[in-house]
Chain A
Amino acid sequence: MPIDEVSLLAIGFANKQRDALDAAYRQFADTLFSVALAALRAPDDAQDCVHDAVLRAWENKTYVPGRGALRSFLSVCVRNEALSRMRTSARRRSIETRMLEPERSMETDFGDPIETARVRRALLALPPEQRRALELAYIGGKTHREIAVELGEPLGTVKSRLALGLRRLGRELEGSVRV
C-alpha cells in the first residue's frame, strides 16, 4: 500500500523526527488549540497545554501508527491534558456556560459548518440517555464518576452508556454522507 503524506507524517512523529513534530504542530495547531481552549478558556493556558501535550507525546514516543490517525491521537492527548489541568485547578467552571461567552478578541473561523452539522446529526441519532452521557463527558468535561453522581445512576450504567454511545456515534458518522 502506498504511503501518503499523512502516513509519512505519522511515521515520522512515531520515529521522533523533529520535522514531523514541526509539521504536526503546524498542521493541527488550530484544532488542538480549540480543543484545549474549550476546557481551559484562557488562551495562554490553552497554548501552553497544547505545547506540553504534543511535545510529551513526541518525546515519549507514545504514538505508534497502530494508534490510528495522528490528528485524533493528538486531539485526545491535548484534551486529556487540558481536563487534567482543569480538574486540578480551582478555575473549573461549566464548559457549557463558557461556550456561551464568545472570545471576541480572538481570531476565529467557524470550522467546517457542514462537518459540524454532520456530527450534530450523528449525536442526535443516539438514544437520549447515551447522548446526555456523552454531552456531560465531552462537552461538560466530567469524569464517569461525576456523571454518575449528577444523573443519580450506578457507575456501571454510566460507563456502558458512554461506551455504547461513542461506538454508536462512530457508526453513525461512518454511515453519514460527507458533502
Chain B
Amino acid sequence: MSAHFDEELELYALGALDAGERRAVDVHVAECETCLAALAVAEHSASALAELYPHYRAPHRKSPKAALPARRMSQWGALAATLLVGLGIGSGIGIEVFRQHAVPDDGALVAIAQSHFAHVSVPMRGTAATKILYSRSGDWLYVVTGSPHSLHISIAHAAGGASQEALTRVEGDAAAWYGARPGIAAPGTTVILSQPPRGEELGRVTLR
C-alpha cells in the first residue's frame, strides 16, 4: 500500500482535485482504513457547505433503473419463482419479490440457475416460514420469508471476523434478501434473523 494521503483527502472532499488525482485517492482509500476514516470526516465537513447553495426540489424522484434489462429479469424471475414454489415456499413469494428485490445485480438469478445449491428451513419464533437457499460453492445466499415484516439478517462466519448485516425488503406478503461474495455461505456460517433494528432474535441456522 502506498503512503497515507494527507491534504489530498480534504481537497478530494472539496472537489478541488482533478480527475486523475481523484482516482488515486479512490484506489488508496479502498485499501486504507486510516485514510478512509479521514476522508469520511472531510466529506462530512465539505457536504455541510452545500447548505450555502440555493435549495431546489428535484424534478424527478424516481430511482435509477436497475442494470438488469426488464425482459431478461422477467424470464429469470419466472424461473426463480418456479424454483421457490418447487421448494415448498409457496406462491405468495412470487415473481415480484425476485423482480424487485432478489436481483440486486444482473448476475444473481443467473448464479442461482447455474449453481448447485442447498436449502434449509430456519426454525422461527412466531414468524412465517423462512428458508435460505445457498450455493454449494458458498458464494451466494438467498433469504426469503413468507412474512410481511422486514427482518434483520446477521451473517456470522465460522472463520470469525466482522459479521455482515442486512435487512430484508418487504414486498406484499413476503420479504427477501440476496447476498453474493466469496465465502458468504461457507460451511459453518451462521445466519441469525431478528427484529430490526437487530432486536429480539427470531431464529438462526448454521449452514452445512
Contact = CB atoms under 8 A, between A and B. Distances in A.
A119 B49 contact: yes
B152 interface: yes
- Interface of A, helix, strand, loop or mixed by DSSP: helix
Contacts of B144: none
Nearest to A66: B36
Nearest to B67: A59
Nearest to A106: B56
> What 6 A-B pairs are tightest by C-beta distance, nearest first?
A68-B40, A170-B45, A33-B58, A111-B55, A163-B7, A55-B64
A84 interface: yes
Given A33-B57, A76-B12, 12 more contacts: A16-B105, A18-B103, A18-B169, A33-B56, A58-B64, A67-B43, A69-B47, A75-B46, A107-B56, A107-B59, A123-B49, A145-B18
Contact of A22 (B48, B56, B63): B63
Contacts of B1: none
24 contacts: A3-B196, A12-B167, A15-B164, A15-B166, A18-B104, A25-B63, A26-B61, A26-B63, A29-B60, A33-B56, A33-B58, A47-B58, A58-B64, A68-B40, A69-B47, A76-B47, A107-B56, A143-B17, A159-B8, A163-B6, A163-B7, A166-B10, A166-B45, A170-B42
B169 A19 contact: yes
Given A119-B52, A163-B10, A71 B47 contact: yes
Contact of A51 (B56, B64, B198): B64
Interface of B: 6-19, 22, 26, 29-30, 33, 36-37, 39-64, 66-67, 100-101, 103-105, 152, 164-167, 169, 177, 179, 196-199
A79 B43 CA distance: 11
Interface in A52-92: 54-55, 58-59, 62, 64, 66-69, 71-73, 75-76, 79-80, 83-84, 87
A18 B57 contact: no
- Contact count band on A: 35 or more
Contacts of A72: 40, 43-44, 46-47
Contacts of B7: 159-160, 162-163
